Structure 1
Amino acid sequence: MEGQSIEERRAALKERVQAQLKSSEEAKLSRELAAENELVIESDAIDLAVEQAAERLQAKIDALEDSDRNRLRTLAASLILIGSILGLASGALILNGNPGDLLASSWFDDSERVDVTGLALEAEEGTGVSNVTVQLLDIDTDEVIAELVTTSNGYFRFADILTNPVTLRVEATGYVTVERDFIPEEAGIDPVTMTPGEGIRYEGNVDSKDGWELELAVGLSTAVGIVTVLTALVGFQAAVEVRRAKHYRRTQYLAGISLFSRGMILFGPALILLGMILLVVTKEQFLDTGGE
């Protein structure tokens, strides 16, 4: 009886030990499965967090790039505007500085009367010819205004002569008579070449284009001033178009036209050109080139 009881107790003890081992293994397996599930969950969460952080970082980088490009576009608009303002100022100066007023001032005012001086030179030897009769004639009526003879050196001088077109007649025995039309000036006249022979030699024609040249200068200056002002105003519109960022090509064309405003000769166009270069960098910000 005692032997059987011991065997039964051993068997029962063995069963309990096996049951405990089995339960321990099952608990271990469950813990391992739970740990694996936790690792999978944590890995997915980490991947998701990393993706979200990368997206936020990229968004910040894009925002910084957009901000930098906006600043460049603002700088381009400012440069174009400053260059256009300089062009407008230059145009105003051109329009105010009328060359007609300048030429009519005392600095350019011709005297009503001047002294006319000259020389009568022998054609072959180049020496002065004395006792040559020199006359100033009215260019229309041939009326004698003044008359004299040359000195021993061939020099002659008429004093207090009106600055109206006249005819100079130089004649001497044995020489060809010279007739020259000119307008008296303080600088004098070119030497008269006395050629042996007979007859009359006509020299020079009075060119009366001075008035037309003055009118042309005034008209040209006014036209340049108007074009300068108009192209400067186009530059103002170009700066506005840069701020709107809608039409890239139109903006560049307007800025190119504003180069003709010539603000401070080169400084203004240089600023506008620099602004156009910055527009190339910020091209993607315009609506017609893919901007938002």
Structure 2
Amino acid sequence: MDDERKRKLASLRSRVRSQIRSGVDTSSSPSKENGLLQKASSKLKEQIIDETEDESLTISLSRFETEFKRFASTNEDNETLRSVAALCILIGAVLGIVSGMMQLTGNPAELMENSQFFAIDDDVSISGIVLYEDGNEFGGVSIKIYDLNTGKSYGEEITGSNGIFLLPDVPQRPMRMEFKIDGYETVNIVFIPDQATYHYITMHEGEATREIGEITDSNLNQVVVVGTIVGIFSILFALLGVHAYLEVKRAKYYRRTMYIAGLSMFSRGLIFVGPTFTLIGMAFLTLTKKQFRDQNSDNDV
């Protein structure tokens, strides 16, 4: 490697010198020639640094590849590594079963609040317009929005002369939005924020409180049905992971074991933790594939 680098540097220096000689006029002053030499030297140093960095990166990658191949060849008959792969796949399956059970036994309101199946975006903007009874825009109305379960405030605004309001970055969970101004009824809206909904609020004179909207039983029933389906499928895919664990321990059919382990990742154990363990186990399996009976049969043929 050192001889090759010296050869490249010598070739580069000779090329730069030839370019300087051809580019410098015989009538040029010594100071101009020195300036060109300095520029050429600086460019030469930059090229040398770039080439050195590229060579160092190439050496590091080749060394990593060599070490990985050595590790793979050393452990292809290591049954302990296959046991570690089986354990990782089993952990992913167990986490999938836990997630499925949590989905089946969860509170419907919490499922609606937290599940990705009932929210398009994490946060949305709530917009609308406040009107008088005659349909004209109502300015100066105080608007506050709270989490229905925790009471946490997620914003406050006063409508302008056009009556329009906008509350940004509101989570998609059950909320209570309050409209209040002296001399008019207080309006409370209970709803789940939706990016597409534009709210029209009409204020009536009086001192009462008017409630609008509710989290209906039909919505909760829909959440329960979908949550149950998701939980059942999570458990079924997790059971495939348990089956993959047993296949790894038997070490008979490599490809079938890999397919089953891959399908088990759909159990989504704790979102990404379970699939990560399964992937690690599958990676270890690729290093120990020769321990499977069908792979040994292929090699014998």
- Structures share a fold, TM > 0.5? no
Bucket of the pairwise TM-score, normalised by the shorter protein? 0.3 to 0.5
TM-score w.r.t. length of structure 1? 0.44
